[in-house]
Structure 1
């Protein structure tokens, strides 16, 4: 069975939403995007646009799965993940863009 990369979205220590793709590269070198806001949560359409700009798309039939991690009794961290596939570069006028 093929192992697909996973995109994850959550909030950073600053509170802003960030989306990144887990690759074989070190985490700090993984492709990512900071939405620059803490509210509202990025919509599914915004997430799809960001994934596309990073060269990825959701795997066939995949949906975002939400998780909650508790670091302390009063502190919960919400994050989501989705399997992704690299997307081929767009072809414009017969050549790759």
Structure 2
């Protein structure tokens, strides 16, 4: 299998990290209680718990969006993304 995308998002509440699996109704997900942005180490651990790892040379990228599309007066949603691959010997 090639690379997939992992995303992490929060609208000020709990952080969610999930693996984007197109065509699937449920995506592997890890949640953190609300608080600061999960550290790089916490994200690696979460990915590993799902059977994935950051792909070689991949880096997290960040964007912001509005809770309501095209309405910048609503709270900001932060979204991060990174390319991932299945861990060696893992079956996700």
Which interval holds the TM-score relative to the shorter structure?
Answer: 0.7 to 0.9
Indicate the structure whose relative CO is greater, using CA pairs within 8 Å and at least 6 residues apart. 2
- 1:84 corresponds to which residue? 84
Runs of 4+ in structure 1 off by over 3 angstroms are none
CA distance in structure 1 between the partners assigned to 2:59 and 2:9 by the alignment: 15
- 1:53 corresponds to which residue? 49
CA distance in structure 2 between the partners assigned to 1:25 and 1:46 by the alignment: 28
- 1:9 corresponds to which residue? 8
Superposed, which structure 2 residues align to 1:14-93 within 5 Å? Answer: 15-26=13-24, 28-35=25-32, 37-70=33-66, 71=68, 72-74=71-73, 75-89=75-89
Normalising by structure 2, report the TM-score. 0.81
User: Which structure has more strand as a fraction of its residues?
Assistant: 2
CA distance in structure 2 between the partners assigned to 1:3 and 1:24 by the alignment: 14
CA distance in structure 1 between the partners assigned to 2:72 and 2:37 by the alignment: 23
Aligned residues: 86
Deviation at 1:58, TM superposition (A): 0.3
Uncovered stretches (5+) of structure 2, i.e. residues with no partner = none
Deviation at 1:9, TM superposition (A): 0.2
